[in-house]
Chains A and B, each alone.
Chain A
Amino acid sequence: MMQPASTQAPEDVVARTAAVIADLSGLEGPLLPILHGIQEEFGFVPNESLPVIAEALNISKAEAHGVVTFYHDYRRAPAGRHVLKICRAEACQSMGSDAIAARIQQLLGIGFHETAADGSVTLDPVYCLGLCACAPSAMLDGEVIGRLDADKLDEIVAEVRS
């Protein structure tokens, strides 16, 4: 279970960041694996991690910031307890994913890229999960779900609220 950003002392972030870097810095081109590792450690990429990374990899803080913000996966703030990704790409659209997307926003009371006020769930768009022959599809906490319909949406909502 990750902690909210505010309760983490900066020195703690620095030490844990340094530990992640120590494990991975031997790789060729280690920055993305390090950022994945940091996100796994904290649930997001804290600002306090960036100077530590920059120092270790001999790049500027601006470069580290540039990489973090380029990729959709890296979060700048903690996500909810559950992360729900709804596919918005063409194959899912052909099977009515726009209506699914509208309904899930209504059911959860949040829009895409938002986290519920109670911290239960973050809703993200995703552009293709490779489940295009069983569209519309979604991913809940890393588990894949195909042929989404109203019943499955209700199950998802019940699960994230429980």
Chain B
Amino acid sequence: MTPVIYIPDDSGALALGAEKVAKAVQAELAARGVEAKIVRNGSRGAYFLEPMVEVETAESRVAYGPVSPKDVPALFDANFLAGGEHKLALGPTHKIPFLAKQTRLTFARCGIIDPLSLDDYRKHGGLAGLEKAVAMAPTDIVKTVTDSGLRGRGGAGFPTGIKWNTVLNAVAERKYIVCNADEGDSATFADRMIMEGDPFVLIEGMAIAGIATGATKGFVYIRSEYPHAVDKMRRAVDIARQGGVLGATVLGSPNAFDIEIRVGAGAYVCGEETSLLNSLEGKRGVVRAKPPLPAIQGLFGKPTVINNVISLASVPVILDKGAEHYKNFGMGRSRGTIPIQIAGNVKHGGLFEAAFGMTLGEIVDDVGGGTATGRPVKAVQVGGPLGAYFPRTLFDTPFDYEAFAAKDGLIGHAGITVFDDSADMLKMARFAMEFCAIESCGKCTPCRIGSTRGVETIDKIASGVQPKKNLELVTDLCNTMKFGSLCALGGFTPYPVMSAITHFPEDFKPHPVREAAE
């Protein structure tokens, strides 16, 4: 049997040199006259081990990593093609602790299969959900999604089934499924990983959404910062069309559904659903007032399901294994699993899919292994640029929508950025305001003007100008932005700012040393 070597072409692996490793492996195969098949898989998500090279042995897949091109000859000398011993050997891949501890439902195939092989996808359980869906009544599909307890994974946490039901009941000659792949939050890369590592699962989820709601056209709006994901999705859509998954007869059923890939143009605010719809229509990505809800009047004024990538990619497993199976994971009103992205200054960074309910401390300390620099963890920002900074004293908070809300935070798209004790929280609060000013769409005043005034006021605090008065002013401004902004950009920027002020007051006190240094 020809040996099979897996070398990821996920962006994260590429950023760490996977392409050079693949070239070195090819060169070594040629030089040694050895025959082997190289599969460019997605990433398993353990970025601290990337580029992670795997080989198929009789028992299981065996991993080596992180591999650099100069390690390649030695790997061949160690007979890694048969799972030979080497200092980079990690043993059977599924037993690597970071991976073994996960519950992979949405990411079950990511990093395992050839992302662009529909056969491989089927062999690993793909299309089973869609096959069930084409034989079901739309109301039953929607009921299954509702019963599963799936909530929008983009950040808002709105029940997916309820959104679908509104679109199903809306009467129109044309309806749309829009996938929000404008994953702009720092610390998040789950959407990118699934689009690069298992694109068919997103296509399958969108097709199910189409059949469930009566929509025949889907758009995936991918941010331009993700060129590899754009390329993978475009090729996957072509393959799905050729394979009869998309087109006039989805899997031979009377249902028509097709998908078009669209690329954003560098505006963070287009991750907000109504702004994204305007952008798709070819307008400035300005936020729309709601109501009307996109489910009633969305893209081109038509009823539209707009869901995050992970929400849609979680649908196939729900249809395949049933609502109960999915619902049995999790806690409280947060059901199923969540792909947690552990990022920033962390030793074991990567994607960790688990049932809701792990504590923040377990995620950061046990899974993440603390900081990369080895210094103490000072703060973690949960939920991207609009999420709150949590100190260690809140590390007992369970990963759950309501539990985070109760601590004045949010889980958002489940990205966590870890900071060590060198972080200056005043600087981070200032950055939150600055980012909001750069990315504001400009429609509403609290966001457009408030963010700029916020930067100026925090600068005054930093330089010791009436710090107490100016802190009160920032607090008041945050209150205005939170309750007066049209969307989450202006409305949630107060989360990082206020949490920094609340939990790290020492960083907002006059600091003679810092001023002297500047």
Contacts and interface: CB of A to CB of B under 8 A. Distances in A.
Q: Do A and B come from one complex?
A: yes
Contact of A132 (B260, B266, B341): B341
Interface string B220-234: 000011111000000
A130 B263 contact: no
B412 interface: no
B284 interface: yes
A36 interface: yes
A82 to B, nearest CB: 16
B283 interface: yes
A113 to B, nearest CB: 11
Interface string A138-161: 010011111100000000000000
Contacts of B372: 95
B417 A90 contact: yes
B16 A147 contact: yes
B342 interface: yes
A133 B187 CA distance: 7
Contacts of A137: 15
B385 A131 contact: no
A91 B186 contact: yes
B350 A133 contact: yes
Nearest to B192: A130
Interface in A47-95: 57, 63, 66-67, 70-74, 89-95
A66 B282 CA distance: 11
B280 A29 contact: yes
B12 interface: yes
A128 B381 CA distance: 15
A7 B300 CA distance: 40
A73 B265 contact: yes
Contacts of B431: 90, 93
B344 interface: yes
A157 B451 CA distance: 35
Category for how many chain B residues contact A: 35 or more
Contact of A130 (B226, B264, B344): B226
B190 to A, nearest CB: 9
Given A36-B265, A71-B285, A94 B225 contact: no
B324 to A, nearest CB: 33
A137 B48 CA distance: 14
A135 interface: yes
B187 A66 contact: no
Nearest to B439: A127
A133 B284 contact: no
A94 B100 CA distance: 28
B96 interface: no
A146 B16 contact: yes
Contacts of A135: 343-345
A71 B267 contact: yes
A90 B266 contact: no
B306 to A, nearest CB: 14
B14 interface: yes
Interface in A35-51: 35-36
B188 A132 contact: yes
Nearest to A126: B225
B495 interface: no
B489 to A, nearest CB: 12
Nearest to B221: A32
Interface in A113-133: 126-133
Interface in B331-370: 341-346, 349-351
A91, A95, A130, A147, most chain B CB atoms within 10 A? A130
B11 interface: yes
Interface of A: 27-33, 35-36, 57, 63, 66-67, 70-74, 89-95, 126-135, 137, 139, 142-147
15 contacts: A28-B300, A31-B283, A66-B284, A71-B265, A90-B344, A90-B384, A90-B428, A94-B344, A127-B268, A130-B183, A131-B189, A133-B48, A137-B15, A144-B12, A147-B16
The 9 closest A-B pairs by CB, nearest first: A31-B282, A133-B349, A146-B15, A132-B343, A71-B265, A89-B186, A72-B266, A94-B344, A133-B47
Given A30-B282, A134-B15, A144-B11, 18 more contacts: A28-B217, A32-B280, A72-B266, A73-B266, A89-B186, A90-B384, A90-B428, A91-B343, A94-B417, A95-B344, A127-B186, A129-B226, A130-B225, A131-B11, A132-B188, A144-B228, A145-B15, A146-B15
